[in-house]
């Protein structure tokens, strides 16, 4: 995962390929993940006013509720839940990863406001879980009894891509047999003030599994996680990811940071680009996971070329890059058979 990363080929470290087998969105303006290929925002999509209610969402912070919905849709899409929406996979060895930067920022700031105006007795004891940023991953694990490693990545703009890469690491290291990766940010006045622009609700989840395990249970992978790096600049990230030496890249998911060095500029000049944040607003910790979902949509559509996702640049502490390639041929789905969820 560093600049000298060995993770250059389709197979992950240790040779086990990791594939995307499910996608779930709780994202206003995006109906199905096929719509991520644009233009956005479209008609319909997730409505927080009606989608964030229900008994199991009571007494939870907004980010946790959004994440629970996205995870529910992704596990359903992966075929890992039964008619009662209970998890049917190997719960003891399924990991949960959450990427979020501002998930509990509203809880933090509202708590200090309450202490200032009403004192400690004004606080609700129900607010205890969300004093810690890992509250979201805890609730997702509890909902589906997922007892594998539970990791919250709060790593700035690259968090989503980082979380996908760490999920692959946990699987290839033998720590987990599957992983639910959620990228989530809530839209609220605290996040809007932090970002200096209007924040939006955004949650997306992807399910990752080893290719062989996915094949043996008849799952339909849409993409392979083929390479990743977090480096000092885009050129170095691309080289470490393997994007410069693999097959042709057909789609570049960018965050609008056009900071390519000369070599990367030539590589990327001609290809199709999608900047999700320019269409949907700031996505922060949700961005990288949403890029992963968008890449899967591109690859599932049968469009040509691999997909490269990049986030970060000179205004940030690093640039991360994730390379996604088609799943092993025998496992590739057709568009007709893909679910249209949610």
Partner 1 sequence: MTWDITGMAAVANIGASPEEIFAALCAGQESRKPLKAFDPDKYRAAYAYEIDDRPEGGGDIPLRATRWLTTVVRQAVADTGLDEDLSQIPVLVGTTMREQRSLELWWRDDAEVVLEDLHFGTALKAAFGASTTYTFANACSASLYALGVATDMIDLGLADTVVVAGTDAATEGGFGTLDRVQNDLPDALRPFDVTHKGMLIGEGAAAVVVQRAGTGSGPVHARVRGVSMGCDAHHATAPDPDGITRAVLDAHRRAGVRASDIDLVMLHGSGTPLNDTTESSVLRQIFQGAGAGPRMTAIKAMTGHTLGGSGLLSLVMAVLAMKEGTVPPVLGLTDPIPEAAGLGLVQGSPVSGDLAIAQVDAFGFGGINAVAIVEAAR
Spatial distance between the Cα atoms of 73 and 153, rounded to a whole number of angstroms: 21
Spatial distance between the Cα atoms of 335 and 342, rounded to a whole number of angstroms: 16
* Shortest reach from residue 325's CB to partner 1, in Å: 19
* Shortest reach from residue 280's CB to partner 1, in Å: 19
* Shortest reach from residue 225's CB to partner 1, in Å: 14
* Shortest reach from residue 236's CB to partner 1, in Å: 8
CA distances from 48 to 16, 127, 129, 186, 203 (A): 38, 21, 22, 10, 11
* Shortest reach from residue 58's CB to partner 1, in Å: 13
Nearer CB in complex with partner 1: 190/213: 190
Q: What are phi and psi of 266, to 5 degrees?
A: -65, -45
* Shortest reach from residue 27's CB to partner 1, in Å: 23
Nearer CB in complex with partner 1: 35/255: 255
Nearer CB in complex with partner 1: 29/313: 313
Spatial distance between the Cα atoms of 109 and 63, rounded to a whole number of angstroms: 15
* Shortest reach from residue 40's CB to partner 1, in Å: 25
Nearer CB in complex with partner 1: 135/276: 135
Nearer CB in complex with partner 1: 193/273: 193
Nearer CB in complex with partner 1: 11/279: 11
- For the chain, list the strands marked E by DSSP: 18-26, 94-99, 150-153, 178-185, 202-210, 223-231, 249-254, 272-275, 306-312, 319-325
DSSP 281-339: ---GGGHHHHHHHHHHHHHHTT-SSEEEEEEE-TTSS-EEEEEEEPPPGGGPPPGGGS-
H or E element at residue 108: helix 105-118
Spatial distance between the Cα atoms of 252 and 272, rounded to a whole number of angstroms: 6
Nearer CB in complex with partner 1: 126/335: 126
């Amino acid at each position: 995962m560093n600049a000298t990363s060995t993770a250059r080929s389709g197979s992950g470290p240790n040779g086990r390929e990791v594939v995307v087998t499910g996608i779930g969105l709780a994202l206003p303006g995006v109906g199905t993940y096929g719509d991520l290929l644009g233009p956005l925002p479209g008609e319909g999509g997730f409505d927080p006013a009606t989608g964030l209610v229900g008994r199991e969402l009571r007494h939870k912070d907004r980010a946790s509720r959004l994440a629970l919905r996205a995870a529910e849709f992704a596990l359903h899409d992966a075929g890992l839940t039964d008619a009662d929406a209970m998890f049917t996979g190997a719960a003891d060895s399924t990991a949960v990863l959450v990427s979020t930067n501002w998930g509990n920022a509203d809880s933090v700031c509202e708590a200090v406001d309450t202490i200032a105006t009403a004192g400690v007795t004004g606080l609700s004891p129900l607010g205890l879980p969300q004093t810690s940023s890992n509250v979201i991953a805890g609730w997702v694990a509890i909902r589906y009894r997922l007892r594998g490693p539970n990791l919250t990545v709060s790593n700035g703009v690259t968090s989503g891509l980082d979380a996908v890469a760490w999920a692959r690491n946990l699987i290839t290291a033998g720590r987990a047999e599957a992983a639910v990766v959620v990228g989530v940010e809530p839209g609220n006045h605290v996040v809007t003030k932090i970002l200096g622009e209007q924040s939006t609700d955004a949650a997306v989840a992807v399910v990752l599994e080893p290719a062989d395990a996915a094949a043996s249970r008849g799952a339909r992978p849409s993409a392979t996680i083929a390479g990743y790096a977090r480096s000092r600049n885009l050129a170095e990230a691309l080289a470490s990811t393997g994007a410069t030496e693999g097959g042709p890249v057909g789609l570049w998911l960018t965050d609008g940071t056009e900071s390519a060095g000369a070599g990367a500029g030539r590589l990327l000049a001609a290809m199709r680009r999608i900047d999700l944040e320019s269409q949907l607003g700031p996505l922060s910790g949700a961005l990288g996971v949403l890029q992963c979902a968008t890449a899967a949509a591109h690859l599932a559509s049968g469009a040509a070329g691999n997909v490269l996702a990049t986030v970060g640049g000179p205004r940030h502490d690093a640039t991360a890059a994730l390379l996604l390639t088609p799943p092993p041929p025998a496992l590739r789905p057709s568009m007709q058979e893909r679910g249209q969820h949610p």
